[in-house]
Chains A and B, each alone.
Chain A
Amino acid sequence: MSIEVKNLVKTFDKKVILDNISFRVDDGKILSIIGFSGSGKSTVLKLISGLLEKDSGEIITTGGDIAMVFQYSALFDSLNVFDNISFALQERKDLRGKYTRKELEKIVAEKLELVGLSGIENKYPSELSGGMQKRVSFARAIVTEPKIILYDEPTAGLDPISSTLIEDYIVRLKNETNAASIVVTHQMSTIRRTADSVLMLYNGHAVFEGSPDELCREETPYTRQFVEAAIDGPMKMN
């Protein structure tokens, strides 16, 4: 077990965003969290990564670093790719000074190779395409060998081919690192290609939990509406 979330509750200005959400993700597995915009998917990631404080409930992790890939990459635009990827190794209090320049170069080259972008160390984020930026942010996320990787809509804004490439890299990183991963997404292709299990949120509640196959097969009104992208159904857009 790598992440276990029990009865997680989060409210913003008295509005309940997450109401008693529970799930677990084992090492080497990917959980996909799906649901409407504003259903609290990204909030789950922010709570696990420590960017937000939970109101109540438990988030149990089995140690090690937690990495997060942001929706729009969130690369540091004043730093080149090398400094972006090696940022944690250069700036983190417990890692600062631990690596020589040569070692950093080796680590960065390895991570870039893993995401299929060798030789772009000196480029700046503004010189890269959206898909490349996303892959650099993958490399930055795994540089400290995290045990948990969180992806916030990793294929948002990408063309279908770049999306497929990103989905392949999510699976590849899972296999390489054996990390427990959570992918927040809206896209059925991402769910089908990456997820071992799926959690569907609506109005702060988990309305479905199961495998991607079960999501497509299950005849509940929620899952049908999501899979068929239907406007009519139990889930109403705010």
Chain B
Amino acid sequence: MRGGILKVYYKATFTYKIIRALEQTVTELISTLGQIVIFGIEFLKGLKNKPTTFKELMYQCYRFGVTSLPITLSIVGMTSIIVAMQVAGEMVKQGAGNYVGMLVAILMVREEAVIMAGFAIISMIGSSLASEIATMKVTEQIDAITVLKVNPVHYLFTPRVLAGTLMMPVVVIISSLVGIIGGAVASNLVSGLTFKAYFDSVWFGLNTHDLNVCIMKSFAFGFVISLISCSCGMEARDGAKGVGLATTKAVVWSFVAIVIVDLIFAAACFY
């Protein structure tokens, strides 16, 4: 009797609620991670069966690469302009004007263009992939695919994840170029740095290793974002609320995942 009362009292305490919340978060984290890994393996298995048409792949590439460009370029362009505005004047004053281009280019290629493009793609395309698949899930369209004996992971994931993986480097390369050019214009306007001095510094500062890492990281980001977004969509349940939760989960997990991938690349390639 006394034990029962103590148990009821313990369950009402703040500590108990915190422990329960933590336990639920960890369980959900492990479960989602497990699901993403399972879907990833299933996607790779499906690749050998050519489960998508060229037309569908092209559509997904267009969606990933073209529709996201205006926002991605705006974000990356603005970021480079802000960076150039902040540092160009000061560096020219200190006699380090010849290093402005190098600084902006390295920042763009190694970090800013990839991570900013990643954030833009997650917000625009990742959320849209997750909500699209989640809606299909809660309206039984995925069940219909299964009953028609088509593997939904192969059918839905293949064009989307392939397009994400292939198009992300394209988006990042274009974004980096726009970022570097934006930096040149801003430096010129703020500090009067000539375009020649700026671009000489860019060529001097950038090397093949930076570009290779940038492209490899872009492939990884594209794969991770599209896989997580599709997986979170696939796990949706309970109607409209479930679609919303799946989309939020896809965005949050993708953000966390690309930062972790970024950290791994930084440690492996530049440390």
Contact = CB atoms under 8 A, between A and B. Distances in A.
Interface string A50-83: 1100000000000001111011101111000000
A198 to B, nearest CB: 24
Contacts of B143: 46, 51, 68, 70, 74
B155 A51 contact: no
A101 interface: no
Contact of B150 (A66, A74, A92): A92
A141 B212 CA distance: 50
Interface residues of A, number: 23
Contacts of A211: none
B140 interface: yes
Interface string B126-148: 00000000001001110111111
A65 B149 contact: yes
B13 interface: no
B147 A87 contact: no
Contact of B148 (A46, A71, A72, A88): A88
B4 to A, nearest CB: 22
A91 B140 contact: no
B144 A76 contact: yes
Contacts of B51: 91, 93
Contacts of B136: 76
A92 B146 contact: no
Interface residues of B, number: 16
Nearest to B135: A77
A69 to B, nearest CB: 9
B27 to A, nearest CB: 15
B155 A93 contact: no
Contacts of B49: 93
Contacts of B147: 49-51, 66-68
A51 B146 contact: yes
A178 to B, nearest CB: 20
A39 B144 CA distance: 22
A91 B155 contact: yes
A218 B221 CA distance: 65
Interface string B142-170: 01111111110001000000000000000
Nearest to B143: A51
Contacts of B151: 93
Contact of A50 (B140, B141, B146): B146
Nearest to A91: B150
Contacts of A94: 149
B139 A88 contact: no
A140 B140 CA distance: 14
Nearest to B149: A92
A67 B49 CA distance: 24
Interface string A85-120: 001100111100000000000000000000000000
A171 to B, nearest CB: 22
A72 B140 contact: yes
B141 A92 contact: no
Nearest to B50: A96
B116 to A, nearest CB: 30
Given A91-B155, A93-B49, A74 B148 contact: no
Nearest to A70: B140
Contacts of A92: 148-150
A72 B150 contact: no
B192 to A, nearest CB: 53
B140 A87 contact: no
A88 B150 contact: yes
B103 to A, nearest CB: 45
Contacts of A68: 143-144, 147
A150 to B, nearest CB: 8
B141 A88 contact: no
A46 B155 CA distance: 21
B146 A74 contact: no
Given A75-B144, A76-B144, 4 more contacts: A46-B143, A68-B143, A74-B144, A91-B150
6 pairs of A and B residues whose beta carbons are closest in the complex: A74-B140, A74-B144, A88-B148, A68-B147, A91-B150, A70-B140
17 contacts: A50-B146, A50-B147, A66-B147, A68-B143, A70-B143, A71-B140, A72-B139, A74-B143, A76-B144, A77-B141, A91-B51, A91-B148, A91-B150, A92-B150, A93-B51, A93-B151, A140-B148
